[in-house]
Amino acid sequence: MSLQTRPKPLVDNWNRPFWEACKEGRLILQRCTSTGQCFFPPGPVSPFTGRPEWEWIIASGRGELWSFVVFHQNYFPGMRDELPYPVAMVKLDEGPFLLTNLDGMSAADAKIGQRLSVRFPGGPEGFVLPQFGPEA
């Protein structure tokens, strides 16, 4: 498996701080300043109020495996050598869901409800992709 060959994320003005934090080994989320609820993916307004009243916070990096699928089809050329691989939906302790890959475990090891924590093992040129593995 090589994180270097994975597709690069598309960066915009709203998600740029998220990707910069990942390079530094930090997981950040936007939090609505009116409701206190966190949200993902990043955007210009709170999905809870529709207003641009939010702040960035450092997330705990912990959550639970909410769901996962195993890709057997090659959708991304840079991931061909990883087939089959799991794509996981992690429900972060702060509330939002994050689609990611599992690190340090196979689909056979994955159990719904399992506690996971973020890892930053690398990524394609210029990026560090957050991955999740078993909580220590």
* Strand pairing class (38-39; 85-92): unpaired
Would the pLDDT of 1 be above 70?
A: no
**pTM of the model as a whole:** 0.93
Segment 112-135, tens digit of pLDDT: 999 999 999 999 999 999 999 999
Confidence of residue 39 (pLDDT cuts 50, 70, 90): very high
Kindly indicate the confidence band of residue 76, based on its pLDDT and cuts at 50, 70 and 90: confident
Q: What is the pLDDT of residue 136?
A: 76
Q: How large is the greatest C-alpha to C-alpha distance in the chain, in angstroms?
A: 45
Distance (Å) of CA 83 to CA 3, 10, 45 = 13, 23, 37
Task: Determine the Cα–Cα distance for residues 71 and 103; give it in Å rounded to an integer.
Answer: 15
pLDDT, mean of residues 89-102 = 97
Is residue 2 pLDDT above 90, yes or no?
Answer: no
